[in-house]
Copies of this chain bind each other. A is one copy, B any other.
Amino acid sequence: MAVTESAINRIKEMIVSGELRPGDRLPKEADLADRLGLSRNSLREAVSALSLVNVLDVRQGDGTYVTSLEPKLLLETLSFIVDFHRDDTVLHFFEVRRILDPAAASMAAVHMTSDDTAELATILAELNDHASVESLVANDLRFHQRIAEGSGNPVLASLLDTLSAPTTRARIWRGLTQQGAVERTRDQHTAIYQAIAARQPEVARAWATVHIADVENWLRTVP
């Protein structure tokens, strides 16, 4: 096996086995390279790769550290991967979101505290009638993020967060604005919120399904 590839697995193994724990600092490049029996250059290729997927955090002048390894952080790299997919697979990603989002809404209706739901209401209220596309996108993002977090499952929340890439979201909202469908979308958001606040998981699930399916149908009409 290639030296660099082997180094990646060696470091991975050190972390998985518990020898290196989240937040730990790695030996300095020269030492680690020596210990793994390769050159510093090759080691750096391995570190660079692990850094891209947020497993390692290298700080110039300081050292290299293991990240917190939280699902949120590691699944962020998923968005990097999603970026490579062209329009024809965007619908497939969206379809998965259509499965997960209603489930998250349902779980949120059970798990969210009243403080949490109050925050949801605040997000809804922040939107005025003449918001720009950018603020619509940002608001939409926060609304769905809040609900996803409210599910109590960080993996689910992170997946949902990255599944619908910002670029897609922007395209959607631009389209919604153009055809004057912003109002309907806002109504659907409100309905989802009300169901969650009323602790009605099935209603929340239904509204979330309606909402996502609505957007998905619009996406299908605009290739």
Name A residues whose Cβ lies closer than 8 Å to a Cβ of B.
4, 8, 12, 15-16, 41, 44-46, 48-53, 55, 69, 71, 74-75, 77-78, 80-81, 83-85, 89, 92-93, 95-96, 99-100, 103, 153-156, 159
Chain B residues, Cβ within 8 Å of A95: 153, 155-156
Copies of this chain, count = 2
7 tightest A-B CB contacts, nearest first: A45-B48, A49-B52, A92-B155, A49-B49, A99-B103, A74-B81, A48-B49
Please name 9 pairs of A and B residues whose Cβ atoms are closer than 8 Å in the assembled complex, sorted by A: A49-B51, A50-B52, A55-B84, A71-B92, A74-B85, A77-B81, A92-B153, A96-B153, A99-B156
Bound complex: CA A103 to CA B83 (Å): 25
Bound complex: CA A95 to CA B104 (Å): 11
Bound complex: CA A85 to CA B83 (Å): 24
Chain B residues, Cβ within 8 Å of A51: 49
Which among A8, A16, A74 has the highest number of chain B CB atoms within 10 Å?
Answer: A74
Which among A44, A81, A84 has the highest number of chain B CB atoms within 10 Å?
Answer: A84
Bound complex: CA A159 to CA B156 (Å): 12
